[in-house]
Amino acid sequence: MEDDGLEKWKEAGSIASKARELGAGLVEEDVTYLEVVETVEAYILDQGAQVAFPTNIAVNDVAAHYTPRPGEKTRFRYGDLVKVDVGAHIDGYIGDTAKTVEVGSATYTQLIQASKKALESAIEVIRGGISLSTIGSIVERTMNSMGFKPIVNLTGHGIERFDLHAGISVPNYDDRGREFLPEGTVVAIEPFATTGVGEVRSYKRSNIYRMVRARGRLKEEQRLALETIQTGNPHLPFSERWLEERVPRVEKTLKGLVRAGSVYSYPILREVSGGMVSQWEHTLYITDKGCRILTY
């Protein structure tokens, strides 16, 4: 890592953490998803960081990869179980963090605690050189002891500069793997607990996209869209909302780019059996003796 890299990482992590709390605090009955993500993303920019990926709002059996489209009117309802997952970066050093809240009711307190406790238990033992399956095993055991299952096909991940999912994947169960966590790296640990069978599958397309590469002959608005994406951070995910002001007919334009293979669209991920899902996530800097929580 560059000399000032860790300092920027700490700063980005701290902003992401405050943005997560801000966003989760706004989740209330009748508030729109859009209001929450717009407030979170404006806050990140106002703090002098960049938004690392569109703020994810995943409700009930949706585990991840949902952000509202421009003008979307969907509102939180009483009893919703809401994951707020935010990312901020400074100069490419990304803080990625999430928490779960329930709207009004207290039906899923234990389920929420399960992913939180799993993350805390993992953080207690994490250090350079620990095996990734040990981390997964701790996450799994913590959830099982509370009567829930981990989602086995969602993982934590290494983070490198301008690269949100780099290098290692950290399982949320004991996958019997033999990989180790290197000291000096940054990882996001993100346990997902569920009342269901413990697996997600791809549902329809979300409003979260990633640039692949320009292909074929482009229409004027497609060229403008790609140009806009590339003047931002071409390696990081983006949303339709971020192009709305500059690109005419943004939804149709993006559809065309997805069809042409220039842009990838992340699918919405739902629990296969319709189970409720909670998530908790921190970005950690791994040292020889433990870790520093960058998104505390």
Binding site for Mn ion (CB under 5 A): 85, 96, 98, 188, 190, 281
**Residue 65 appears among annotated catalytic residues:** no
In the residue annotation, 199 being an active-site residue is answered as no
Min dist. Cβ of residue 96 to Mn ion (A): 4
Q: Which of 80, 85, 102, 221 is catalytic?
A: 85
- Would you say 20 or 250 has its CB closer to Mn ion? 20
Among residues 151, 123, 174, which one has the least CA distance to residue 294? 123
The catalytic residue among 11, 96, 174, 240 is: 96
Is-contact 19 53, C-beta < 8 A?
A: no
Shortest spacing between CB 175 and Mn ion, in angstroms: 18
- Using the structure block, give the residue that is written with the tokens 């040292």: 287
Of these residues, 65, 89, 157, 282, which one is catalytic? Answer: 157
Determine the Cα angle at 29 with ends 28 and 31, to 5°. Answer: 70
**281 annotated active-site:** yes
Q: Which tokens belong to 279?
A: 């998530």
Distance CA 15, CA 236 (A): 18
Task: For Mn ion, give the closer residue by CB, 33 or 221.
Answer: 33
Catalytic annotation present for 174: no
Pair of tokens at residue 29: 């009955």
Residue 140 host element (H or E): helix 132-145
Shortest Cβ distance from residue 119 to Mn ion (Å)? 12
Active site residue 157: yes
Measured from the CB of residue 143, what is the shortest distance to Mn ion in angstroms? 18
Tokens of 231: 């003047």
For Mn ion, the closer of residues 187 and 276 by Cβ is 187
Nearer to Mn ion, 94 or 229 (CB): 94
CB atoms within 10 A of CB 2: 10
Residue pair 291/127 in contact by the 8 Å Cβ criterion: yes
Instruction: Please report how close the Cβ of residue 26 comes to Mn ion at its closest, in angstroms.
Output: 18
Nearer residue to Mn ion within complex by CB, 34 or 187: 187
Spatial contact of 207 and 239, defined as CB atoms under 8 Å apart: yes
Q: How far is the CB of 155 from Mn ion (least distance, A)?
A: 9
Q: Which is nearer to Mn ion, 117 or 282 (CB)?
A: 282
Sign of the Cα pseudo-torsion (48, 165, 246, 27, in order): negative
* Token pair of 245 as six digits: 């002001």
Active site residue 190: yes
Contacts of residue 53, defined as CB under 8 A and 6 or more positions apart, other chains included, come to: 87, 96, 164, 208, 236, 237, 238
Positions marked catalytic: 85, 96, 157, 165, 190, 281
